[in-house]
Amino acid sequence: MADVIHTTTQSELLAMESLEQAAGCLRTVAHPHRLRMIQMLLGGSYTVGELAEACNIPPSGASEHLGKMRDRGLLIGRREGRSIYYEIAEQGLSSIMDCIEKRFGE
């Protein structure tokens, strides 16, 4: 039987509280419409209507998804006149999307 080499020490592991927060964040983004919105928002700012159209859902549904991500601190909304433009607030979403695109991209 071959010896297994462990390179991560106990002191390098994240605290369980941090992992619980990470799991909550991942649950928040774990929806196809939210992933599509994140993918788009990583390229620029979009309105609720633009994101709803890209996801083929009503604006009210898009607003609900965006609100959940905003409440989690992943997005910010910026008002311009009568429109609210959403943007990425958590730059770590780029790494998550890169992983998804590499694994599931065509």
CA dist., res. 24 & res. 30, Å (int): 10
CATH topology of domain 32-104: Arc Repressor Mutant, subunit A (1.10.10)
**Maximum C-alpha span of the chain:** 68
pLDDT digits (tens, 9 = 90+) for 69-81: 999 999 999 999 9
pLDDT digits (tens, 9 = 90+) for 31-70: 999 999 999 999 999 999 999 999 999 999 999 999 999 9
| pLDDT score of 72 | 95
| pLDDT for residue 84 is more than 80 | yes
All residues at 6 or more sequence positions from 45 whose CB lies less than 8 Å from its CB, including other chains: 78, 85, 86, 87
Measured from the Cβ of residue 74, the count of other Cβ atoms closer than 10 Å reads: 22
Domain positions in the chain are 32-104
